Structure 1
Amino acid sequence: MDVSKKYVAVGILCFINLINYIDRFAVAGVLPDIKDYYSLSNAQGGLLQTAFIFSYIFMVPIFGLLADRYSRKKLMAMGLLFWFIIIYLGSFIPRECGNLFIFLRAMVGIGEASYSTIAPTIIADLFYGSYRTKLLGSYFFAIPVGSTLGYVVGDFLAKTLGSWKYALRLTPLLGFISVFLMLLYLEEPPRGQFIGVKYSERNNFKVNLSFLSKFPSYIWSTLFFTFLCFTTHSLLWITPLFIQAIFKFRDVHVHQRSLTKAQSMIESNSALHDKAYNLCRQFLSGSWKDIKEDELVFHSISGGLSNSLYRCSLPSTHTPLCGEPSQVLLRMYGQLHSDDPSQNINKMTESVIFMMLSERKLGPKLYGIFPEGRLEEYIPAQALTCEQLRDPVISATIAHKLSHVHQLDVPINKEPTWLFDTIHLWLDSIHKIDVKMIKKDYQNLVKELIEFPYEEEITWLRNFLSSIESPVVFCHNDLQEGNILLPTKQTKSRLSSGSKNQLTKSLLEPNLIFIDFEYCAYNYRGHDIANHFNEWTMDYSAPEFPHFYYNPQDYPSETQRRFFVKEYIKAIDKSNLNPEIDTEDHILREAEIFTLASHFLWILWSIDHGYSSKIAFGYWEYGQLRLKNYLDKKRELIDLREKGLL
């Protein structure tokens, strides 16, 4: 065999070994997503690796025996093809078949055993001396490199393409190519051609074991390497879950200072689990009536002073019987038990709004309402990003949806009192702030914020807003990217095909969902649109404090604003269209003027929450930014009005 062909053959074998470990640890990298998808417990999640290892351990000596007697190249090819087919099929297993997914991961061990057992022997038979050592070293170096890449590649594919399943689909595709190359370039060398001992194909298996037992160093190194692999693979498998748990623990307990409080939270979660079980049985039918209390899959999603969110799921052993959901969202009102009757009224109003939007398919489905909260549809989706807000197709769809929301007739107070009532509510709480209770690093900033003459400014703002006629409509009042969901990645992936109009009307609109109706109320149309435009510049995905990015360059251009308003007008019922105020120019002017109201509202929100909230967010920094934006915009608009341009 030509030397250059030998190196090509070794390169292919090394590449396949790299794929091997990328696949193995890509699963570990997306294990939290797999557990959520199949509603697996931690033990079942660990069983994925255990099942694989046991089949691998069982098949390794079998393939070693076969490789001594039959064509190693053919054995590897068959094993690899089996391996890659099983991996690929595993990525299509539906969520109710978690046990089948575990079984297929066990079958993967068969394919891997065929390759990892045979490939090193071929390299050993292609080269000798120091060349053999170096090339075997290169082959085994693929183990740490592939293991590391497995986490990175798996997580990257899952996040980029929107599903953990894509993390399992890359290696099979690369694998089929590598098998073809192996069959093309690898010529199987004679067994043991460089060891100086005549090879016998038919050595008895017991004779071989007896021969190896005469070398204590071989036995001890094999045992210790086995223990090492068991330990390291166990740690590597659970590391993503462990790190995730650490960050969740940190986020949940960042404001907790004692073991007593932590214990209280544990007891509270246990009580919530029991309550969730009873609520699901009361409001949901079918399989929910059959599960036992300890079978309910219960996960905390987020928590805070306003609401706590939990995902309740049927176990993998139960499937829906009569159209009932397999998982729901449990929302618990954090501040319901208050002496302030307005809290109860606000929650009642929010539930009415939620029900109406649900019936009109403008929000998640509602499954049940109870005094402390409600059961909602759980939507496995990701919130939009600021970048997606700028996508013309998505922006047009948001405009359509918002127009439909504005035309709703909701049985709540229809006077436009919400804006200034809320401003006064937060202003009253600001008057009670004791600056001495604020961290010293923030005291000067807080003084600057709370000493601003808000009462005088409110009088001026009321007068300025009255200069434009803006219809009173039912408004969302907080339409930022985090409150807009697009449930399926399949929908988003199809944005690249088809015409823009087809996508807007028939594809995106039925799937785009508005959430978080905490601030919904009758308000001025201009405020809702202006606030949405302002949110184009605010990115709340920052992992580091203050947990937001401000990107003023992303504020929609006049062309983008006009496009949004044009799509908004298209969705207005023609019988309700007012030719005087439902025009592009007039709505754009409304939004321009009400930009001030948007900034002013969130200044006061920031100060109120900066003093009272325990959530890790840069409220003071956010309030300072919105105050600066307010004053800059105020100067700009006054200048335009004096020039007769507004």
Structure 2
Amino acid sequence: MANYIHVPCGSPEVPRLELTVLESGYREGAMNLLKELRPHWKPEEITTQVFTDGITNKLIGCYVGNRMEDVVLVRIYGNKTELLVDREEELKSFRVLQAHGCAPQLYCTFNNGLCYEFMQGEALDPQHVCTPKIYRLIARQLAKIHAIHAHNGWIPKSNLWYKMKKYFSLVPTEFEDKLINERFLHHVPNPQVLQAEMTWMKEVLSSLGSPVVLCHNDLLCKNIIYNEKRGNVKFIDYEYSGYNYQAYDIGNHFNEFAGVNEVDYRLYPSRELQEQWLRWYLEAFKVYKGFSMDVSDTEVEILYVQVNKFALASHFFWGLWALIQAKYSKIDFDFLGYAIVRLDQYFKMKPEVTALTAPE
């Protein structure tokens, strides 16, 4: 699928360093990277700080001094994440977004990760993304990404169903730990049920007419950096970026209003908030595409229906993802519990959103 993503001519090449950074000895590995990236830094003056918010990778910030003006982020890929992430697609998406001013500078890749520029600002929480001042910025930034033409004449196709099918094939059938296995068997639907839901989703959602655009696909709160001084937001972490349905990317973001560590779906945005958000988004999307920014109530209503139906696919996708992580990840996070929450919300939400009908 990465062939669909066309990196603009003249974009700087990204150096590849034949180095491996061990999680257990990350400082030594980071120092070896910095010898190449920041040769003028004195090793004894370098501070390394672990960022613990990620539930896929380990992220380390490296800098000299106290002001953190120049920070090199070292991201070490999590165990077996190559099963979940297309690294070629991630790299191309990162370079495209960087070329359009939507991503930080990418310094290099290495055997099990990459290094990039630290973006100044505050990583958001659920209480931030529902405030008009901030969600308008988010809507416009997402519209900017969705409007990027990065397919070199190809007709872009969504890889959602391909990835979902792949994830389904990787879902464990049992766990070694007896208590975990009992919890898995009791709370997670059997493979036949999951397979039937995937078939239903592909048939129903593919027919909604949502455009296929370049998507972030993982717009959780912590992946949004708000710079109050500059009055803007930027998105980080492009591991799951690629071509997908416009409505999926927005529905996925709305699901993330509920948070990750303590998920609360009472925080899912109300219809009124969604309609305001979607109007801001559509106005910006039209402008970035070179059209009049006039948006009708019917356009908002159609996108509202599409978004809430594709939110189902987001729950299902991350439910499968979390089941795989529960098997392989070494990160201290209750992935099985997270999978159960996402799949439960899928089945809870399904009757309500399938009843929605778009205006003709």
Distance between the aligned counterparts of 1:353 and 1:612, measured in 2? 26
The within-5 A match list for 1:553-632 is 554-574=267-287, 577=291, 583-632=299-348
Structure having the larger proportion of residues in helix: 1
* Number of the residue aligned with 2:31: 277
What amino acid is aligned across from residue 603 of structure 1 in structure 2? G
Report the alpha carbon displacement of residue 458 of structure 1 after superposing the two structures with TM: 1.3
What amino acid is aligned across from residue 272 of structure 2 in structure 1? T
Count of aligned pairs between the two proteins: 334
Question: For 1:374-414, what per-residue CA distance to the aligned partner results, in whole angstroms no more than 9, with x for missing partners?
Answer: 22112353311111111001111100000001011235986
Report the alpha carbon displacement of residue 420 of structure 1 after superposing the two structures with TM: 1.3
Distance between the aligned counterparts of 2:286 and 2:354, measured in 1? 35
Distance between the aligned counterparts of 2:207 and 2:151, measured in 1? 29
What amino acid is aligned across from residue 459 of structure 1 in structure 2? T
2:61 corresponds, among 301, 311, 326, to 311
* Number of the residue aligned with 2:254: 533
Report the alpha carbon displacement of residue 645 of structure 1 after superposing the two structures with TM: 8.0
Distance between the aligned counterparts of 1:582 and 1:367, measured in 2? 44
The within-5 A match list for 1:475-494 is 475-488=215-228, 491=229
The question of whether the paired residues in 1 share the 8 Å contact of 2:46 and 2:63 is answered with: yes
Structure having the larger proportion of residues in strand: 2
The question of whether the paired residues in 1 share the 8 Å contact of 2:72 and 2:117 is answered with: yes
Report the alpha carbon displacement of residue 629 of structure 1 after superposing the two structures with TM: 1.9
The within-5 A match list for 1:362-511 is 362-410=102-150, 415-430=156-171, 432-435=172-175, 437-440=176-179, 443-452=182-191, 453-488=193-228, 491=229, 507-509=230-232
Secondary structure in structure 1 of the residue aligned to 2:208: coil
Question: For 1:305-325, what per-residue CA distance to the aligned partner results, in whole angstroms no more than 9, with x for missing partners?
Answer: 843222211257xx99xxxx6
What amino acid is aligned across from residue 608 of structure 1 in structure 2? I
TM-score (norm 2): 0.80
The within-5 A match list for 1:124-163 is none
Cα distance 1:465–1:448, how it changes in 2: closer, same or farther (>3 A)? Answer: same
Cα distance 1:517–1:476, how it changes in 2: closer, same or farther (>3 A)? Answer: same
The question of whether the paired residues in 2 share the 8 Å contact of 1:449 and 1:607 is answered with: no
* Number of the residue aligned with 1:9: none
Question: For 1:343-390, what per-residue CA distance to the aligned partner results, in whole angstroms no more than 9, with x for missing partners?
Answer: 6xx223212222222232212222333444322112353311111111
Distance between the aligned counterparts of 1:414 and 1:582, measured in 2? 26
Distance between the aligned counterparts of 2:112 and 2:220, measured in 1? 26
* Number of the residue aligned with 1:220: none
What amino acid is aligned across from residue 424 of structure 1 in structure 2? K
What amino acid is aligned across from residue 550 of structure 1 in structure 2? D
Question: For 1:237-267, what per-residue CA distance to the aligned partner results, in whole angstroms no more than 9, with x for missing partners?
Answer: xxxxxxxxxxxxxxxxxxxxxxxxxxxx79x
What amino acid is aligned across from residue 390 of structure 1 in structure 2? C
Cα distance 1:611–1:556, how it changes in 2: closer, same or farther (>3 A)? Answer: same
Report the alpha carbon displacement of residue 581 of structure 1 after superposing the two structures with TM: 11
Cα distance 1:438–1:572, how it changes in 2: closer, same or farther (>3 A)? Answer: same
| Larger relative contact order (CA 8 Å, sep ≥ 6) | 2
The question of whether the paired residues in 2 share the 8 Å contact of 1:304 and 1:614 is answered with: no
The question of whether the paired residues in 2 share the 8 Å contact of 1:365 and 1:377 is answered with: yes
Question: For 1:545-583, what per-residue CA distance to the aligned partner results, in whole angstroms no more than 9, with x for missing partners?
Answer: xx313142x222222111111111121244555989992
Secondary structure in structure 1 of the residue aligned to 2:238: coil
Report the alpha carbon displacement of residue 475 of structure 1 after superposing the two structures with TM: 0.7
Cα distance 1:645–1:304, how it changes in 2: closer, same or farther (>3 A)? Answer: closer
Cα distance 1:444–1:292, how it changes in 2: closer, same or farther (>3 A)? Answer: closer
* Number of the residue aligned with 1:216: none
Corresponding position: 1:522 with 2:243: yes
Secondary structure in structure 1 of the residue aligned to 2:157: coil
* Number of the residue aligned with 1:159: none
Secondary structure in structure 2 of the residue aligned to 1:523: strand
Q: Pick the structure with greater CA Rg.
A: 1
Distance between the aligned counterparts of 2:37 and 2:298, measured in 1? 43
TM-score (norm 1): 0.47
Corresponding position: 1:326 with 2:70: yes
In structure 2, runs of 5+ residues without a counterpart are 1-21
The question of whether the paired residues in 2 share the 8 Å contact of 1:600 and 1:630 is answered with: yes
1:548 corresponds, among 251, 259, 262, to 262
Secondary structure in structure 2 of the residue aligned to 1:474: strand
Distance between the aligned counterparts of 1:282 and 1:582, measured in 2? 54
Distance between the aligned counterparts of 1:296 and 1:387, measured in 2? 34
In structure 1, runs of 5+ residues without a counterpart are 1-264, 492-506, 541-546
What amino acid is aligned across from residue 243 of structure 2 in structure 1? Y
Distance between the aligned counterparts of 1:620 and 1:487, measured in 2? 34
- Structure 1 residue ranges, 4+ long, deviating more than 6 angstroms after superposition: 578-582
Secondary structure in structure 2 of the residue aligned to 1:527: helix
What amino acid is aligned across from residue 451 of structure 1 in structure 2? N
Cα distance 1:330–1:417, how it changes in 2: closer, same or farther (>3 A)? Answer: same
The question of whether the paired residues in 2 share the 8 Å contact of 1:403 and 1:568 is answered with: yes
